[in-house]
Structure 1
């Protein structure tokens, strides 16, 4: 497949919320007026949505990494899940509200380009591969009595594959919340539970936009369980914890590898068949300087790092770890430049023809389990829309990850970042 097409196609995991009474589940025509693109049609325009998603990934990582509330803590999230859910939200935004969302997400302003690229991304992400599981699912959940505009629901269904389910938010908000959460659990193999917390849905809720993404893959070069040993991991200069450390030191341990003055880079590919190639890219600081790795997280630096990788024998020591994270999004997104969506000045008239809706809550949960066999990762995002009347070297290098590091799960050909995180303590949050 064309490298550019894949680069574009991996940036979409759309989370869409419900659509109202009288709307059908059948996609119709939109103002764009054209069918979803073929690979050839997308090739020339590929990269805009993916490049924007990657930049949003690094922007959000930087914001969280420098937030005192997360100081010293593990981080892990899916930028596609968040950006795609907000792209659906953006479809109904107007004026300043739309400008802010587009700026923070780095979305293409051209409607046709943006929609076609998201549509193409979904097609690639959901293409079957015998060696790994990778899928994304989108849904719209709407108050059954509320009149959403057909243009909005049609665009969501046509371009983002978001079908409509009508719920009784007015009469049964808690039952509606449980219905949405069950859907998320099913889409993520029960790895993301209770996405929408108690109280996030109430009688004033009119729309919930949800996305789920799930990945499970095995390493091309799996680790031998019998070689895993308990070893120390430095969580601070004078403090260690004991973790199970996997290792590959045999002559077949051939990986993509590079070094800079401040960190080592290791690329560990996942097995694949006819699907797109995926890998984990790990940035391991020298001298325990995690900041040096984090400061390199931008789109150009990522491209340069991947291009500098050389396939060679590497002695690899890597910890097993399992992370579960959750984030409330309104505060961080407002600080990043899109405060209007969360207040009384919000304009989502593209959804219902009025100025009565605003984003009352945004939640994101993520899960990752890294072991000898491979990696399992999942994430989900929920955007809740309420009425405004509601409250608001020369020798063989040794790569030993026994201290904090940054890691990314990357689509090989394009460099699209599927997941991103850091491990400061494999034994904790």
Structure 2
């Protein structure tokens, strides 16, 4: 896609800057929102699909920025690196939303910025997901969803059918009651397989017990090479300022040759660099880096809203740039009930939850939402993975305790997004504030 085309898509999809989407492609042979329309309906159908994808992208990207802002401004994360996949979280929560009613559904829809029209929502997730899973010879990008159900518990066929049709989330029955630990290991193995072993032990020991009735999972994996790779022989140890009077040594990659031509723009307070990944026939994927001209991340983080990011992306021009960019590797994990409740969806975690769309009764609630993410940026390119698990239990069961959050420090503070350009979907988002370990 040309830059004009990308900018047009960004402006159209990101007026509320759109989102991380969910799901997995439909099984071969089934009809999905991304499938070829019947003869005679092609133009209306394609327009409807584009509208659906745009609505879901817009809302989900806004959720990405909302969640980033919430985490970045939490005193518990002061001075810490952040990295997560809003796409993965939105995917799992969209499937949860399919089983929610009343206030519970309203809160989830509001926090995720989902379209109020369920048809637009479902078709949007399905269409964007089909694009994300489109094969490409130059990079790997895939996502998958799954439902893991207690084998003795009855879920409504309407719920499981919708999960399978629109999100590719097929049901696997497990013996949570009799073998909770073995069930946990089964789910974790699936996550490892989907993420090339980069996300291990998504569900920690004790997170699955005899009261678990359903686990909703999403996994996403990306591995791509830079269009303009860095020469490893040019990488040098350099200082990185983590505070006005404090530095650490980091491996700094560099491109200062005539071929170092990138999408670039700047403001009074910010430099913006777009580094694309090589592609063949698949979607265009790139890393967008927001680097403050001063050491404080304020300028970058204040730019994380729909209109500002769209404007920055539109103003990118191709020009030669001397690029110095650190190698870094981050691994993070989060327990999300607290932050999501604070963002406006508390009910699903309480005894007032209404997940009757799953089983026909008001007897279930979400006991925990866990998320893990991994990213490795080096001279060749980027490898990134993430997974989300939504654990559903009977109301009689107490909510699970939150998991500890490890700290990973990196280089000169910056914010980075990995974006699927065709839809404008933010696949991953993070910031690098400090770097002590590679």
Q: Report the TM-score, using the length of structure 1 for normalisation.
A: 0.91
Q: Is the 8 A contact 1:27 1:158 kept in 2?
A: no
What are the Cα deviations for residues 270-291 of structure 1, in whole angstroms up to 9, with x where unaligned?
0000001011000110121211
User: For residue 345 of structure 1, what is the aligned residue in structure 2?
Assistant: 352
Q: Is the 8 A contact 1:232 1:243 kept in 2?
A: yes
Please, which of 153, 156, 177 is the counterpart of residue 146 of structure 1? 153
Question: Are positions 1:120 and 2:127 aligned together?
Answer: yes
Please, which of 66, 73, 96 is the counterpart of residue 89 of structure 1? 96
Q: What aligned pairs does 1:258-277 form with structure 2 within 5 A after superposition?
A: 258-277=265-284
What are the Cα deviations for residues 187-218 of structure 1, in whole angstroms up to 9, with x where unaligned?
00000000001111111100000000000000
Count of aligned positions: 408
Quote the RMSD (CA, aligned, Å). Answer: 2.3
User: For residue 102 of structure 1, what is the aligned residue in structure 2?
Assistant: 109
Please, which of 212, 218, 239 is the counterpart of residue 232 of structure 1? 239
Q: Report the TM-score, using the length of structure 2 for normalisation.
A: 0.89
User: For residue 36 of structure 1, what is the aligned residue in structure 2?
Assistant: 33
User: For residue 12 of structure 1, what is the aligned residue in structure 2?
Assistant: 21
TM-fit CA distance, 1:35? 5.1
Using the TM superposition, name which of 39-48 and 280-289 deviates more.
Answer: 39-48
Q: Secondary structure at the match of 1:103?
A: helix
Q: Secondary structure at the match of 2:20?
A: coil
Q: Secondary structure at the match of 2:294?
A: helix
User: For residue 301 of structure 2, what is the aligned residue in structure 1?
Assistant: 294
1:299–1:53 Cα change, 3 Å: same
1:35–1:272 Cα change, 3 Å: closer
Question: Are positions 1:46 and 2:53 aligned together?
Answer: yes
Q: Secondary structure at the match of 2:248?
A: strand
Q: What aligned pairs does 1:201-280 form with structure 2 within 5 A after superposition?
A: 201-280=208-287
Q: Is the 8 A contact 2:141 2:223 kept in 1?
A: yes
TM-fit CA distance, 1:7? 5.8
Structure 1 residue runs of 5 or longer lacking an equivalent are: 16-24, 393-400
Q: Is the 8 A contact 1:290 1:404 kept in 2?
A: yes
TM-fit CA distance, 1:427? 2.4
Which whole-Å CA distance do the structure 1 matches of 2:432 and 2:168 have between them?
Answer: 34
Q: Secondary structure at the match of 1:44?
A: helix
What are the Cα deviations for residues 345-400 of structure 1, in whole angstroms up to 9, with x where unaligned?
000000000000000010000000000000000000000000011112xxxxxxxx
Please, which of 67, 71, 77 is the counterpart of residue 84 of structure 2? 77
Q: What aligned pairs does 1:310-329 form with structure 2 within 5 A after superposition?
A: 310-329=317-336
Q: Secondary structure at the match of 2:114?
A: coil
Q: Is the 8 A contact 1:231 1:243 kept in 2?
A: yes
User: For residue 407 of structure 2, what is the aligned residue in structure 1?
Assistant: none
